[in-house]
Structure 1
Amino acid sequence: MHIAIAGNIGSGKSTLTRMLARHYGWEPRFEAVEHNPYLEDYYKDIHRWSFNMEVYFLKERFRDVIEIQQSSNTIIQDRSIYEGVYVFMENNKAMGNLSDRDYETYMELFEQIMDVVKFPDLMIYLRCSVPHLVGNIQKRGRDYEQQMQLEYIENLNRRYDDFITNKYKGPVMIIDKDELDFEHEPKDFAQIIDRIDQTLFGLFSPLKP
């Protein structure tokens, strides 16, 4: 089984991934952030490094998807291959950070990858307001993230909502993160567990609210 955690930068994806992996005994998969050779340069000069970074992420996510599909374990993944394309890549294109040539090359590669990729069994989307995201980003204090513009975070948030509502065709569970502190409040985490149990192991199929 394949579970994916979706959400904007600072939404708590990695934290929820770790907690759910520990609770259910699932195998966690995390994005290559700390060891990404392009990320720091990207935030210093987004226009120059967008194509390089997006191709790197696509390569890493495709490798993860293949390994997940071949695994006999239940795997919970921190961010899916779809978000990299429909949120981050599309946002960079809209902001003028990629040429038409680079965008077309990237999308042709992605479309070929989709021939061998299946939807996760469940995508859990952590929906957050921009102030909530900014507060979390400031709190964790990663140097390269402190250089992000507010407009960039706002654009990503709009694209995440559009992606989940209008573009993604797989099963989705939406969690309003502003209302929850699942890391520190056991009752909030229990609420998420109850929803997952009902969706994956109960009588009902996952639905978008």
Structure 2
Amino acid sequence: MAAKHLVLVAGNIGAGKTSLVTKLGEQLGWRTGFETVETNPYLGKFYGDMRAWAFHLQVFLLAQRSQLHIEAHRHPSSAILDRSIYEDYYIFARALHSLGNLSAEDLDTYSRVYKLVITSLPKPDLLIMLKAPVSALLERIHSRGREMEAGITAEYLSLLDGYYDEWLHSFDVCPVLTISSGDLDYVNDPAHLASVIKTVEAKLSGRDELVFDE
């Protein structure tokens, strides 16, 4: 019987998380989990008034992501999730505070709730971190043309990148596999996808020598 794994995919906006989760789920027969924008009652309000709704949005996303995490862990097969719950605080809540959209009091309250939630969650087996240059992120964001992402700037993506670097430096919950997605096309190039799958399987098996095929 194949080993069961829980894999989380992290990365900046436009890094290719959803595409990778979809492809790995299809190729490996894993359960997939995605953030459901349609059922989020705060997202539209947040983009209309970020300061008024940032705390509500973050708490909702924390609850949604913790539920996905628990359901994925309980599922009989391996599972892979689009974005990790750990990013909610270490990346996005901190960025909201830095930009003045989340007060120090709200950040502290959110941090306390976040830590209580995290301690109750099973640990994942692997975190896949997707990295890409800000220019590539912006190009992908513009090409997919989502209205809610229209105001995303290079400066904001760079801010998030900085928080990602800080977070990964001290992240010790599970092994981390960093993949530079800027030059990879695992959506349209079968060879690239095969290399990613080979690398992920090697990391999950405990092998540390990870080399992409040419």
Contact 1:4 1:79 in 2 (8 A): yes
- Give the SS at the match of 1:131: helix
Shift, 1:188, TM fit: 1.1
Deviation per residue, 1:92-143 (Å, 9 max, x gap): 1122211122111111111111221132101111101111100000000000
The answer on 1:110 being equivalent to 2:108 is no
Contact 1:44 1:147 in 2 (8 A): no
Residue in structure 2 matched with residue 145 of structure 1 by the alignment: 149
Deviation per residue, 1:129-181 (Å, 9 max, x gap): 11110000000000010122332222112211221223353211000011211
So what's the TM-score if we normalise by structure 2?
A: 0.89
Letter in 2 for 1:85: Y
Runs ≥4 residues deviating over 6 A: none
So what's the TM-score if we normalise by structure 1?
A: 0.91
Letter in 2 for 1:110: Y
Residue in structure 1 matched with residue 20 of structure 2 by the alignment: 16
- Give the SS at the match of 2:150: helix
Deviation per residue, 1:184-203 (Å, 9 max, x gap): 111111111111121123x5
Contact 2:31 2:72 in 1 (8 A): no
The answer on 1:126 being equivalent to 2:119 is no
Deviation per residue, 1:53-95 (Å, 9 max, x gap): 1111001011112222322221110011101111111111122
Contact 1:11 1:177 in 2 (8 A): yes
Contact 2:185 2:192 in 1 (8 A): yes
Q: 1:154/1:44 Cα in 2 relative to 1: closer, same or farther (>3 Å)?
A: farther
Q: 1:206/1:200 Cα in 2 relative to 1: closer, same or farther (>3 Å)?
A: farther
Aligned partner (choices 76, 81, 84) of residue 80 of structure 1: 84
Deviates more, 1:95-104 or 1:125-134: 95-104
Residue in structure 1 matched with residue 68 of structure 2 by the alignment: 64
Unaligned ranges ≥5, structure 2: none
- Give the SS at the match of 1:147: coil
The answer on 1:160 being equivalent to 2:178 is no
Contact 1:11 1:127 in 2 (8 A): yes
Unaligned ranges ≥5, structure 1: none
- Give the SS at the match of 1:6: strand
* Distance in 2 separating the partners of 1:6 and 1:130: 15
Contact 1:6 1:80 in 2 (8 A): yes
User: In angstroms, what is the RMSD of aligned CA positions?
Assistant: 1.8
Matched pairs, number = 206
- Give the SS at the match of 1:53: helix
Residue in structure 2 matched with residue 173 of structure 1 by the alignment: 177
Shift, 1:43, TM fit: 2.8
- Give the SS at the match of 1:33: coil
Higher helix share: 1
* Distance in 1 separating the partners of 2:122 and 2:165: 21
Residue in structure 1 matched with residue 46 of structure 2 by the alignment: 42
